[in-house]
Structure 1
Amino acid sequence: NQIGAKFWEVVCAEHGIDSTGRYQGDTDLQLERVNVYYNEASCGRFVPRAILMDLEPGTMDSVRSGPYGQIFRPDNFVFGQSGAGNNWAKGHYTEGAELIDSVLDVVRKEAENCDCLQGFQVCHSLGGGTGSGMGTLLISKIREEYPDRMMLTFSVFPSPKVSDTVVEPY
């Protein structure tokens, strides 16, 4: 979610959207394709078409309290309480399996709000349990439900330089 949050900061900057969701840009070009990544709310705010999920609330809290945390739709934060303990199987088969239906409900809601859904972008880790285990579960469920839509993943491989968890790559 840290990389996903940074992604949204960059997209906001490219489109001239400030941290409150308001357009502050200086060229019409910035607004030309803003509807690819954003829904425009009735109050003139732009709300990212983003779903943030995790198996523990800590990362979500840091995203929410970050510089762009208030731009996201609160209902699109989906999280558990237990985590996956850096274990792919827990993320895929147990903890993630308990949460996946809630995530898919939010995915459906966002998809239904699109005029012309082209596909999905998924940013997830290949290490740990949530990004790898629940990430692959989510991708397979989206593929089942939307077989004719594109799927683009930004998959982050773990690095021994930033992680102290020996089993993370497994």
Structure 2
Amino acid sequence: MTSVQTPVASAGLDPAVDPLALESQVCFALSAAARAMVAIYRPLLEPLRLTHPQYLVMLALWEHGDLSMSEISAMVHLDPATVTPLVRRLDTLGYVHKTRSERDARVVTISLTDVGQALRAVAEGIPAQVVARTGMSVVELTEIRVMVAKVVDAGQRAGAL
């Protein structure tokens, strides 16, 4: 008699475990992990007057310099409609300024102000504080980042992002 493998069994999952159990879902684990990580960052970013998404925009600018709105959107994996209010708030805070391209008025370039550039020196302490707050090692956090990057890449290959 041949055994018939269910999709769950062929995927290497224990069929005795409910494949639809909340705790079995990768999406749930990643969602909960993202919320937990943002909660770790929140008190570290508050003195800088930044939200986590604004911090991501600042990281992109600190690393790459002047960027268009579409470049920022692609780098931080947020749609342009989400990035626009983030940049507007950063502009209001005096951290960035916006310039329309003379060649194409549809292109808006975001640049750091002197205040925004100086904020980088303060932000440089955040990664070490994150390590301390998580109680995890740099190696563990790096391994997680690498694995999550694989998930992001898989989403991009699947056309989901």
TM bracket, shorter-chain basis: under 0.3
Higher strand fraction (1 or 2): 1
TM-score when scaled to structure 1?
A: 0.24
Instruction: Give the greater-gyration-radius structure (CA).
Output: 2
Higher helix fraction (1 or 2): 2
TM-score when scaled to structure 2?
A: 0.25
